[in-house]
Structure 1
Amino acid sequence: MLISGLLIGAALGFVLQRGRFCVTGAFRDVWIAKNTWWLSALFVAIAVQSVGVWVLDALGVITLSSTGFAWLATIVGGFVFGFGIVLAGGCATGTYYRAGEGLVGSWFALLFYALFAAISKYGPLAGTTQALRGITTEHGTIHETLHVSPWILVALLVAVAALWARHHLTKPRMKVATLPPERTGLNHLLFEKAWNPFATAVVIGLIALAAWPASWATGREFGLGITGPSANIANYLTTGDLEMVDWGVLLVVGILVGSFIAAKGSGEFKIRVPDAQTIVRSIAGGALMGIGAAWAGGCTIGNGLVETSMFSWQGWIGLGAMILGTGAAAKIFIAPRKKSAAPGRVPAGV
């Protein structure tokens, strides 16, 4: 049954790469471009998964439960993670699928993300992580706090996601260059045609949903997750402990495989070596991602996609903290470059 992790990971990596689904870009665009197009697509993915997850829970296929909310660790860790993804040039899944495309900077970011996630979960920083996550509140979910049925929140989420998507779909948007319309067929759809962000989001939501029963069947009682499996890879490589190789580890390996297949098929795979400054930033960003995700209990997938679908406080507060962290880093590292490159200005050094 572990092989299902590899297959679902490959499907996720393929869809992420072909759909260019980048959560870092979604967060960054909120601050730099004042655009919520990709953020609204993320909400569609969350809504699709949320409906399915609560149906699975109602049918007894899985059993959703909650613990206390580690509020301080979630806020601080989410902010640190959000800051780090700007330096790294991608969030957890974004770094994986860009590594599969041949981006050497993402290789460095991925290496240090896994390393520092392991350090924060199992190594010298484990005590700090445990101390932060030991500060909790009683209720871990929004519906517990409000004393309402989770289905009320499901209905509200679906309505918000649908209206938000409709708002963007009815607005004019810059057209993406595509191949001539006479090209048709499965190969054109899979490797040539530009994918609609909202269609991509629906597919990601369905893949996230499929991960629940597949993972549950192996004894891992959760859906998609990136940080824990990445830390387990680093742990396995340093200790040789085969118990670390679980469904989640095969999932993240599958993301690399799927994104590589997509990039090769679409002609987008190429080994690209960045300059020294980009490599240093990738390393720093990867380290911050690993620490932040370990403290927050999840990354843009574990918290931003999965926990949000369960209406946990960790998921939604963590999502907000990541957006704020991304905004802070964008204002420091991206906004000045945009200003220096604006018409009428001469960039420094030119």
Structure 2
Amino acid sequence: MILTGLALGTVLGFALQRGRFCVTGAFRDVWLAKQTRWLTAFLVTIAVQAIGIFALDALGVIQLGADTFPWLGAIVGGLVFGFAIVYAGGCATGTYYRAGEGLIGSWIALAGYALAAAIMKHGPGAPLVESLRGVTAPVGTVHELLGVSPWALVALLVAGVGAAAWHHLRKDAARPKPVQLPARRTGIARILFERPWNAFATAVVIGVIGIAAFPLSYAAGRESGLGITTPSADIVAFLVTGDAELVDWGVMLVLGILLGSFIAAKGSGEFRIRVPDAQTVLRSTGGGLLMGVGAAIAGGCTIGNAMVGSASFTLQGWTAFAAMLLGTGIAVRVVFGRRGSRAAPAPTPVGV
């Protein structure tokens, strides 16, 4: 059953690469370009997933909830992770799919991320993680704290995100359409490999993948959804110890992301080995290591915490999400300075 993780990861990696779905870019655009289009797309993913997983919970297929809220770990880890992804050039999933495109800098960041996560989860950093995550509040979910049905929160989230997405879609429709080059492919091949994917369509696809992850993972004995940090740490631990029990559904998932992004990049002609300069190597190494530390302390990355945790309305998920966004803003100030917006990179491009 763990091979379903490889299959789903391949689909996820394909969608991430073709949709250019980068959470780091979404967070960075908020601070540098004052744009929320890609952040809204990320929230669409959360909203879609929330509908599906609470339906699965109601049907008894999965069981959602959180007993406690490790608030200190969520805040500290989220800030560190958000700061790190600016230097690493991508969050966990962004680093995986760019590694599949052939970016050596992303491979370096990915190695640092997996190594640091393994150190913090399985090695000498574990006591620090346990200490920070041991500071908890007794209520673990937003709906439990407020004393309301989770469906009330799902409805509120869907309504708010739907309105924001509609606003951005109207702005997209008013923009001049880019010149279309003559099509090299036809039919489904053109949609999959040639045409740019729309941000919101990609968000819906990823949300559906997030829903499917729960029953598939449960069937393989892993009671969770999408997750990147622990599987990445487990890969390192397996390479060191040879313990085959570490190779579970989650490990297959992240390996599938690499495979899927490689297939997408090769099919679209975007795969190319790109060797970074010395400064990029240093930033990728440091950013990757910090990313692993932050994700371990926070209890997850932008997927496990900010997407899956937020979709299930855990206090950890939403707190880590906010801390990651703030940490990205702090890093933007450090990297680009107070006048950084004048020299800032262009916002994440718009898919059509």
Instruction: Give the TM-score category using the shorter length.
Output: over 0.9
Give the equivalent residue in structure 2 for 1:347: none
- What's the CA shift for 1:147? 0.4
Seen in structure 2, the aligned counterparts of structure 1 residues 178 and 140 have a Cα distance that, compared at 3 Å, is: farther
Alignment of 1:180-329 (within 5 A): 180=182, 184-329=186-331
Give the equivalent residue in structure 1 for 2:90: 90
Give the equivalent residue in structure 2 for 1:31: 31
Seen in structure 2, the aligned counterparts of structure 1 residues 101 and 183 have a Cα distance that, compared at 3 Å, is: closer
* Letter aligned with residue 211 of structure 1: A
Alpha-carbon separation, structure 2, partners of 1:290 and 1:147 = 35
- What's the CA shift for 1:90? 0.3
- What's the CA shift for 1:65? 2.5
* Letter aligned with residue 148 of structure 1: V
Greater CA drift, 124-133 or 64-73: 64-73
3-state SS of paired residue (1:65): coil
Q: Summarize deviations over 1:240-275 as a string: whole Å, max 9, x none.
A: 111110000000000000000000000000000010
Alpha-carbon separation, structure 1, partners of 2:141 and 2:344 = 45
* Letter aligned with residue 205 of structure 1: G
Task: Say if 2:115 and 2:233, in contact at 8 Å, map to a contact too.
Answer: yes
* Letter aligned with residue 96 of structure 1: Y
* Letter aligned with residue 33 of structure 1: A
Seen in structure 2, the aligned counterparts of structure 1 residues 340 and 153 have a Cα distance that, compared at 3 Å, is: closer
Seen in structure 2, the aligned counterparts of structure 1 residues 268 and 183 have a Cα distance that, compared at 3 Å, is: closer
Are 1:127 and 2:109 matched, yes or no? no
Task: Say if 2:104 and 2:274, in contact at 8 Å, map to a contact too.
Answer: yes
RMSD of aligned Cα (Å): 1.5
Give the equivalent residue in structure 2 for 1:346: none
- What's the CA shift for 1:338? 5.2
Greater CA drift, 63-72 or 253-262: 63-72
Task: Say if 2:65 and 2:141, in contact at 8 Å, map to a contact too.
Answer: no
Q: Summarize deviations over 1:37-73 as a string: whole Å, max 9, x none.
A: 0000011110111000000001111111312100011
- What's the CA shift for 1:334? 3.2
Give the equivalent residue in structure 2 for 1:157: 157
Greater CA drift, 88-97 or 172-181: 172-181
Q: Summarize deviations over 1:129-161 as a string: whole Å, max 9, x none.
A: 000000000001000000000000000011011
Alpha-carbon separation, structure 1, partners of 2:54 and 2:202 = 22
Aligned residues with identical type, % of pairs:
63
Task: Say if 2:32 and 2:344, in contact at 8 Å, map to a contact too.
Answer: no
* Letter aligned with residue 38 of structure 2: W
Give the equivalent residue in structure 2 for 1:348: none
- What's the CA shift for 1:337? 5.8
3-state SS of paired residue (2:210): helix
Q: Summarize deviations over 1:185-237 as a string: whole Å, max 9, x none.
A: 11110000011100000000000100000000111000000000000001001
Task: Say if 1:178 and 1:194, in contact at 8 Å, map to a contact too.
Answer: no
Seen in structure 2, the aligned counterparts of structure 1 residues 175 and 286 have a Cα distance that, compared at 3 Å, is: farther
3-state SS of paired residue (1:170): helix
Give the equivalent residue in structure 2 for 1:70: 70
Alignment coverage as a number of residue pairs: 342
Task: Say if 1:78 and 1:319, in contact at 8 Å, map to a contact too.
Answer: yes
Alignment of 1:54-65 (within 5 A): 54-65=54-65
- What's the CA shift for 1:81? 0.2
Alpha-carbon separation, structure 2, partners of 1:163 and 1:240 = 50
Q: Summarize deviations over 1:76-121 as a string: whole Å, max 9, x none.
A: 1000000000000000000000000000000000001000000001
Alpha-carbon separation, structure 2, partners of 1:322 and 1:178 = 37
